[in-house]
Structures are given as structure tokens and as C-alpha cells.
Structure 1
């Protein structure tokens, strides 16, 4: 069964390390420990039952408690599934480049290559618009393209 610890936000990895050290010293039936970056303040563990999970949490700092209901594998899959940045961007969106040589520049998306996770953007705040091909994870969307129906 999969259970969730409530922990101090930002201390998920510390708690996971302390828990892992405790497991190696004592005989506790925790099968897996998972830290998911998008799930701040929570730590996911797999164990036989809730008693084992509560016993493992005893005297470990930063653990605030255990959620009363076990988590289903479907809920875990939705958290683990990675979403492509290129799939959320549309042609015509105004984006800001957050890394690379053009960091801080604003640009308009002119082409999307989802297979390669690349975007071709046209810098907007320059005298001559220059098309530049960049990785999709190096942008932040500022304004979505207006839908003309």
C-alpha cells in the first residue's frame, strides 16, 4: 500500500535520507521512498500497512503526520507523468527566454517541433527580427496567442 507523509516544505529529501538511514539500522518493512519535486511538503512511501508507516515516522524530525487514506497507483502515475513544455506552447505565443545567450529577451513562437522538444522563436525587442531555434524548456510563457475563431 502507498502512504503519504506530511513533512516540512523543502525538507522532503532530508526526511527521506533520515528515513532511509533508520531503515538500514532497524528492521522496518518500508519497501520504497519517493520524493516528487512537484509535491512540496509531502513524501510518498510504500509499506505493508499504516502501522508500519507510523512506526517508521517515530522520532524523525520534520514529519508532521501521515495522511489517513492510502494513495492509489493511478494518483501516483498522474504525478510522475512528465508533461512536455512544447505541447503547452502554441504558435504566436509571446514567451520570455529564461536561459542561454538571449536570456531575458521576449520572443514570439513561430514554429514548434514536439518530437525534438524545440521551438523556433522570433525575437521581438530587436531592430531586425531574428528567428532562433531553442529548447522548449528554456522559455516562460508571458502571453498566450489570441484565438481567432
Structure 2
């Protein structure tokens, strides 16, 4: 009963590059291990926070560090804690077209034109789609693709 009133906190755990999701899965497995009695409420893997996962727990940092010793690709627990208010913006999904404007140079990363470079001609944020024209095309044919099917190469902003 004494544990019911413990304060939850969020720790940032440094991971190996591009191993954030596997670290989260391995934390889940380690917590479910019958020999382990550590309590973890959630593990957050924000796309924008490369190389880190966030662990919500009511355990002290020493217990979290002890758990991470058994988690492959988990490097270290950063000192200090954070709050849900500070990391809450990571929980709100960003539209697939955020940061993409007319004139942006993109590479298609999915579909029949995968690998082709194109310039954005129109952005439809409500449908999360963009209309592009391929660079290599002899005739400028507009192609509409999902916003998550492109990778931004150049934002086309003036530096002057």
C-alpha cells in the first residue's frame, strides 16, 4: 500500500542510434520478466527525439539504471527527471505534411516513383497529401502522393 502514493517521473534513456523501438520493446520484456519487480507505467518513443526513449515510472533512478543494464542497446539513464507537461508535445502526432511548402524539393520514398526527386507544387494539409512534379520528367505531370511518402531534401528557402 505504501507504493500507491509514490510520485511518477519520466526518465530519458540514451539508446544506440536507430534502436529506440527495440529498446522500448526490450524494456517491456524486462519489466514482464518474472524475476523483476520494477514498475514501469509507459515507454515513449518520440520520432523527433532520436537516440532516446522516455520511461515513466515511480521507481528511483538507481532502479531504472539497474533495469537498463539488462536492456540491449540502452546506453545510460540521463540524470534528472522530467514531467508529462514537458514531454506532452511528443504525444501529439504531427501532420505528415508539416514543414513541407510549395517549392520544397523532396525525394519520393515510396510508390512507383521511389527514388525520384520532385518539386512540391501544392500542399493539402487536410488530406495530408502533396502534389509534386518530377524533376526528370520531360512533361511536367502533377502527381499527388501522401505526405509520409516523401523525404524533404531542400526547403527552398532564400538565404538572402
TM-score calculated relative to the size of structure 1: 0.75
Counterpart contact for 2:12–2:52, Cα < 8 Å: yes
Q: What is the rounded CA distance, in whole Å, between the counterparts of 2:44 and 2:144 in structure 1?
A: 35
Q: Secondary structure at the match of 2:97?
A: helix
1:48 corresponds in structure 2 to 58
Q: Secondary structure at the match of 1:107?
A: strand
Counterpart contact for 1:29–1:52, Cα < 8 Å: no
2:13 corresponds in structure 1 to 5
Counterpart contact for 2:42–2:57, Cα < 8 Å: yes
2:94 corresponds in structure 1 to 83
Report 1:19-34 matches (<5 A): 19-24=27-32, 25=34, 26-34=36-44
Q: What is the rounded CA distance, in whole Å, between the counterparts of 1:64 and 1:143 in structure 2?
A: 33
Q: Is 1:39–2:49 an aligned residue pair?
A: yes
Q: Secondary structure at the match of 1:27?
A: coil
Q: Secondary structure at the match of 1:88?
A: coil
Counterpart contact for 1:29–1:47, Cα < 8 Å: yes
Counterpart contact for 1:6–1:42, Cα < 8 Å: yes
Q: What is the rounded CA distance, in whole Å, between the counterparts of 2:82 and 2:153 in structure 1?
A: 35
Q: CA deviation at 1:132?
A: 1.3
Structure 1 unmatched ranges of 5 or more:
none
CA offset digits 1:14-61 (Å, max 9, x no partner) = 444443334331222322233344434333212224244244345555
Q: What is the rounded CA distance, in whole Å, between the counterparts of 2:117 and 2:18 in structure 1?
A: 32
Aligned length: 147
2:115 corresponds in structure 1 to 104
Which of 54, 65, 75 in structure 1 is aligned with 2:76?
65
How large is the Cα RMSD of the aligned pairs?
2.7
